[in-house]
């Protein structure tokens, strides 16, 4: 009788703990995917800001509706991505808004100015 009560209590405890454990694991997985997507979007925005070339929009797990924006002036280039991490029902869990800015450097002009300044100081 005591052995049957122990088995029954273990079954009830497992029935209560298993959903919490599964929800915790799924939450950590979704958070991991969100951080991965956010990091990759920022890296893509930074690479596009530095190179100035438009690449195809990145697509990662659970990420939909990637919107690209940005601006370019004579001295700065900005690339901005907005998206989100979505769950299986199509609801947005986390919003992603990443922006990278890059100061445009003209190496030839810069070197010429440095050399001119060096000659001026000598």
Digit-coded pLDDT (tens) for 6-59: 666 778 888 889 999 999 998 898 888 888 888 888 888 888 887 777 777 767
Give the domain range for residue 80. Answer: 2-121
Is the dihedral angle over the CA atoms 85, 93, 98, 40 positive or is it negative? negative
pLDDT of 1 higher than 70? no
Q: How far apart are CA 63 and CA 16, in angstroms?
A: 32
> Structural domain tally of the chain?
1
Burial of residue 34, with CB atoms counted within 10 A of its CB: 0-12 exposed, 13-18 middle, 19 or more buried? buried
State the average pLDDT over residues 96-106: 79
- What is the value of pTM for the model shown? 0.64
């Amino acid at each position: 009788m005591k052995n049957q009560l122990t088995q029954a209590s273990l079954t009830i405890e497992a029935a209560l703990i298993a959903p919490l454990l599964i929800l915790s694991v799924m939450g950590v997985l979704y958070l991991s995917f969100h951080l991965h997507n956010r990091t990759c979007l920022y890296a893509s925005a930074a690479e596009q800001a530095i190179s100035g070339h438009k690449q195809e929009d990145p697509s990662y797990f659970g990420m939909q509706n990637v919107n690209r924006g940005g601006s370019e002036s004579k001295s700065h280039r900005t690339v901005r991505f907005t998206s989100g991490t979505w769950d299986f029902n199509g609801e947005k869990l986390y919003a992603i808004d990443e922006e990278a800015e890059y100061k445009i450097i003209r190496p030839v002009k810069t070197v010429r100015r440095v050399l001119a300044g060096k000659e001026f100081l000598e």
